[in-house]
Amino acid sequence: MFTVLEVKPLKASPRVSGLVLIALLVITASPALAQSSRTGERVMIPTLQSSDKTLGVQAAEAIRDQLQKQTNIRDVVVVPKADINNSLQSSGYPTTEALAPGDAKALATLVRAPQYLEGTVTKTPTGYKIDSRLIISRDMTKGQVLPSAQGAKLDDAADQVARAIRDARRQLPAEEACHNAIAQGKYQEAVAAARQGLAGYPNANILAVCLAEAYNNLKMPDSVVAVAERVRASDPRNIPALKMLTTTYRARIDSPRPGVAPARLSSDTTELLKVLGALAAADPTNIKLIQDVINEYAQLKHPEQAVPLVRDLLQTNPGDPQLLNLAWLVYLNAKDYQGAIDVGGEMTRVDTATATADYYTRLAAAYSALNQPQKASEAANLGAKKFPNDPNLSLIGANTLYQSGQLQLALDAAKKAVAANPKSPQAYYLLARIQGALNQYDDVVNTLNQAKANGADPMALSQLALKQGSDAYKAGTASKDRADFQRAIKFLQLSDQLQTSADAKFLLGASAFSLGQSAVNDANDKRSCELARMARDAFNLASINLPAGGQKYPNEAAQLLTAIPQFTPAVDNEVKRFCK
């Protein structure tokens, strides 16, 4: 029903943190954030995430202490706690709370640290556990996930984290060379630098991402996938790898190379769906990212996988007008119509401007899909009152009345829909069906001819006439009433005129044969010239149309054509006797 998400890009929040503003001033005021030639690069260890604020502070201090003990100042400078706290306080931030990702990056820039740690510390039944990641400040999405550290004492876990930081930093010189080569357009040099660095540290994900970026610039999609999938295997939250996999799989699906097996395309689609789920999970609070993922799901014709994403977004951002609009469209695409109805009601309550004609059209369609014609009619009527000149609402209102069995009201509404938009084929189709249900057969014929004159599809009109003719033929077969066969002939001739078909030809011939058979028998009993001539004309009509119908129904047509000559002498005799 709805296959496109007409979503306006979500606006970014106008609020910018104090840390970001100060960091920007530092960047613009300083030509470079270079380290002293006599000391190593600075690494920042801010407060870790924890349900216990004190534990987050203690864990950060323990990691700083262990890293200082394990390194030389010429290799690494651990940013002192005092420097971190002074910067936080001057920016109006508390010193005992973990920072949001954007603020952590800004703080790292402020204290001139090319790398920083983010992580979580928890207390376990046997001690402490720290899960962390080393981030490079120039791009906070690029980081090295560190092994989970556990110890009976906090210092024991911190010692493991410090050793992991030392190992992770071994890749940084090669990553810097790779990054600079890409910036200069020297992609082969970037590949060489990355490969050399990976030889010494195979699990270097920051470096591996740079290698994948170089392959991407060299238009080597298979290599991009191989490297990025290796990164994803060890770090499912690695956003740069996931984004490259998304674009690469999408490109391979949209523009497959000649000779690519269908199984490969199916596999790529399956993997892309997995990657999209991982990408959304990697940064669930990033609304723009989630919106991009949702649109990808829609394009892949899997909108149902977007439903949990918008549900979570609404739980964390209740009453957000843009998210409600996004959720409304997602639920409709996923055919979760009750969810769409519920969200749509909240959306129009929060922002009355969203109660457009399109909204009422879709709302009525949602109720119809749930087999609630009365509710659908109410929604359409509400919309029609608010937007009296909208032809779609009039049409939907008429259709819901038709489905609920209110035929006379439906007829009036359908006529209004045709009058509102004489070029709407759907309005004519609905009007013809309602007229047929009311046994207004002459009106049906007039409506179909009027629709043809206004440009409606002849094939669609032919099918409508065929349906009326088929129903009349079945009715005649049951009732043996010649009026039913005559009605069948009328509609089947119209169907054949609009768009010739073997179905119409065969049913027309069969209806004519049945009419002739009935007329010839009664003509003799009633000594009726009119019935005799009716029989003669009906058998002639059957003889003309059955051969063409026999292309699809050869056995049935042959039986009828064989039977017609058996009636011919009697018909000729009746015409001669009764028509003087």
Query: For residues 244 and 284, which has the higher predicted lDDT (pLDDT)?
Result: 244
Counts of helices then strands in the chain (DSSP H, E): 26, 6
- CA gap 7, 322 in Å, rounded: 9
Contact 305, 294 (CB under 8 A): no
Report the SS3 class of residue 38: coil
- At 318-345, the pLDDT tens digits run 999 989 999 999 999 999 999 999 999 9
Residue 148 has a pLDDT of: 96
Contact 28, 110 (CB under 8 A): no
- CA gap 362, 45 in Å, rounded: 52
- CA gap 164, 151 in Å, rounded: 14
- CA gap 396, 364 in Å, rounded: 7
Residue 19 pLDDT grade (very low, low, confident, very high; cuts 50, 70, 90):
low
Decide if pLDDT at 8 tops 70. Answer: no
Please provide the average confidence, as pLDDT, over all residues in the chain. Answer: 89
Residues with Cβ within 8 Å of residue 153, at least 6 apart in sequence: 127, 128
The tokens describing 407, both together, are: 């035929």
Residue 396 pLDDT grade (very low, low, confident, very high; cuts 50, 70, 90):
confident
Contact 336, 304 (CB under 8 A): yes
Residue 17 has a pLDDT of: 54
Residue 313 has a pLDDT of: 87
Alpha helix locations (H) across 317-424?
A: 321-333, 337-350, 357-369, 373-386, 391-403, 407-420
User: Distance between the two ends of the chain, CA-based, in angstroms?
Assistant: 63
- CA gap 287, 292 in Å, rounded: 9
Residue 419 has a pLDDT of: 86
- CA gap 576, 580 in Å, rounded: 7
What does the pLDDT average to over 400-414? Answer: 87
Lowest-pLDDT choice from 24-38, 108-122, 174-188: 24-38
Residues with Cβ within 8 Å of residue 156, at least 6 apart in sequence: 127, 128
Alpha helix locations (H) across 480-528?
A: 482-498, 502-526
Question: DSSP string of 46-100?
Answer: -PPB-SSHHHHHHHHHHHHHHHHHHS-TTTEEEPPHHHHHHHHHHTT--SSSPPP
What does the pLDDT average to over 192-217? Answer: 94
Compute the chain's Rg from CA coordinates: 38
Residue 39 has a pLDDT of: 81
Contact 87, 107 (CB under 8 A): yes
The tokens describing 124, both together, are: 């376990």
Decide if pLDDT at 1 tops 60. Answer: no
- CA gap 435, 445 in Å, rounded: 10
Lowest-pLDDT choice from 50-54, 95-99, 392-396, 521-525: 392-396
Decide if pLDDT at 99 tops 90. Answer: yes
Q: Classify residue 13 by its DSSP letter.
A: P
Its sign, for the CA torsion 54, 60, 63, 68, is: negative
Contact 310, 336 (CB under 8 A): no
Decide if pLDDT at 569 tops 50. Answer: yes
222-249 in b/e burial notation, b at 16+ Cβ within 10 A?
ebbbebbbbbbeebbbbbbbbbbbbebb
What does the pLDDT average to over 279-291? Answer: 88
Decide if pLDDT at 5 tops 60. Answer: no
The tokens describing 412, both together, are: 């009036």
Residue 37 has a pLDDT of: 53
Share of the chain above pLDDT 90, in %: 73
- At 497-536, the pLDDT tens digits run 999 999 999 999 999 999 999 999 898 889 999 999 999 9
Its sign, for the CA torsion 506, 508, 510, 513, is: negative
Residue 265 has a pLDDT of: 81
At position 198, the amino acid (one-letter code) is L
Single out the residue of 90, 89, 88, 113 nearest to residue 103, CA to CA: 88
Residues with Cβ within 8 Å of residue 116, at least 6 apart in sequence: 43, 44, 45, 46, 104, 105, 107, 108, 134, 135, 137
Residue length of the chain: 580
Single out the residue of 105, 129, 110 nearest to residue 119, CA to CA: 129
Domains annotated for the chain, with CATH where assigned, are 18-170 (3.40.50.10610), 478-578 (no CATH)
Express the helix, strand and coil content of the chain in percent, nearest 5 each. 70, 5, 25
Residue 10 has a pLDDT of: 35
The tokens describing 188, both together, are: 């082969």
Share of the chain above pLDDT 70, in %: 94
What does the pLDDT average to over 62-77? Answer: 95
What does the pLDDT average to over 128-132? Answer: 97
Pairing status of strand 149-151 against strand 127-136: antiparallel
